[in-house]
């Protein structure tokens, strides 16, 4: 089969291992730069049977390039980047990458937790302002503290491993607990209320679905201890933003950190940026060379599986 990546770039191409494609007797044609218009899109994917999609596929391409049989999107939310009704209408299989970068995101969560616990940002500001006052900051150690992990998927499982390696006392909440899963994770399950009440650090790693929308509301935030920290490297929709800003302004929790937002880039006048003890990063938790290489490999693997007659990671309407 002929595969095409019509919207790649040189950095991504350098991370991609083409050995599996060549070994299976297929071809991958790579283009750098996003096509400027629909005509260029059609020119690049002409005669291709599989499309490796980095960004968004414009409406109308699948209707006018009948050779395309499968689109593999480099990410989880394919429905936001591929015209699904058009794909269905023309019998095009759409695949995604449900999970990748578990270690990268989990490590970033702990980077944020350490920065909050040891007041790294405040220390940097003091030094840059000429205020060398080592005794002004303090901070706490994470070893021996209670870590509450919300979500037991690949990222949550990796966060549990890191927490245990740091000698933290770890508990986890999941929507589908079982004794077998508890034993596998090596951490006890707890109710969401108990986890928020007892944890010194709460780290969110649950998927955003209708049932997890605003999962962390004012009621749960009110249960947290005054020194406790909330770290969210998952979707921002998991947290009631207004309630979080209120909790921070009133000093009801020790601090919070976020890596993703409902509106990106985050407007400079957003209330979150005025909240005290809030650390923010620009949605970079997943962004490492190792994680990107994993993402690209899995995206390509979807095309190879389809070519072999074994479609995998097939995306359907309503998938998170």
Cβ atoms < 10 Å from Cβ of 115: 21
Given a contact cutoff of 8 angstroms between Cβ atoms, the answer to whether 259 and 232 are in contact is: yes
150 strand-pairing partners: 173, 204
Residues listed for the chain: 320
Burial (CB < 10 A; 0-12, 13-18, 19+), residue 173, is buried
Considering the candidates 69, 214, 252, 283, report the single residue annotated as catalytic. Answer: 283
Residues 6 or more apart whose Cβ sits within 8 Å of residue 33 = 7, 8, 9
Is 214 a residue of the active site?
no
197 catalytic? Reply is: no
- SS3 state of residue 163: helix
Which residue among the candidates 49, 158, 235, 294 is catalytic per the annotation?
A: 235
- Spatial contact of 81 and 73, defined as CB atoms under 8 Å apart: yes
Q: Is 264 a catalytic residue?
A: yes
Name the catalytic one among 264, 274, 290, 301.
264
Q: Indicate the SS3 state at residue 22.
A: helix
**CB-side neighbour CA atoms (13 Å) of 205:** 34
| Cα gap 44→36, rounded to integer Å | 11
Cα 155 to chain centroid distance, Å, stands at: 9
Measured CA distances, 267 to 22, 214, 261, 278 (Å): 46, 21, 10, 15
Catalytic amino acids?
Answer: 235, 264, 283
């Amino acid at each position: 089969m002929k595969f095409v990546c019509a919207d790649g770039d040189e950095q991504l191409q350098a991370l991609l291992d083409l050995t599996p494609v060549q070994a299976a007797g297929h071809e991958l044609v790579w283009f750098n730069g996003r096509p400027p218009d629909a005509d260029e899109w059609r020119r690049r994917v002409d005669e291709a049977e599989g499309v490796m999609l980095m960004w968004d596929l414009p409406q109308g391409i699948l209707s006018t390039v009948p050779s395309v049989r499968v689109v593999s999107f480099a990410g989880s939310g394919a429905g936001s980047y591929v015209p699904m009704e058009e794909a269905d209408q023309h019998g095009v299989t759409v695949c995604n990458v449900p999970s990748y970068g578990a270690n990268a995101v989990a490590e970033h969560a702990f980077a944020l937790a350490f920065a909050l616990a040891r007041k790294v940002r405040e220390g940097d500001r003091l030094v840059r302002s000429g205020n060398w006052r080592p005794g002004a900051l303090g901070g706490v150690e994470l070893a021996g503290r209670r870590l509450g992990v919300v979500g037991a998927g690949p990222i949550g499982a990796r966060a549990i491993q890191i927490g245990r390696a740091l000698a933290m006392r770890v508990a986890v909440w999941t929507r589908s607990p079982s004794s077998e899963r508890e034993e596998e994770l090596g951490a006890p399950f707890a109710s969401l209320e108990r986890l928020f009440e007892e944890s010194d650090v709460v780290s969110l790693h649950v998927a955003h679905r209708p049932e997890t929308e605003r999962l962390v509301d004012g009621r749960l935030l009110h249960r947290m201890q005054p020194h406790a920290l909330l770290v969210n490297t998952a979707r921002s929709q998991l947290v009631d933003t207004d309630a979080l800003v209120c909790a921070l302004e009133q000093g009801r929790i020790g601090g919070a950190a976020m890596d993703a937002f409902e509106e990106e880039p985050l407007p400079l006048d957003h209330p979150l940026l005025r909240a005290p003890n809030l650390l923010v990063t620009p949605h970079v938790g997943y962004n490492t060379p190792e994680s990107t290489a994993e993402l690209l490999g899995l995206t390509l693997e979807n095309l190879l599986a389809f070519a072999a007659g074994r479609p995998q990671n097939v995306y359907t309407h309503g998938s998170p």
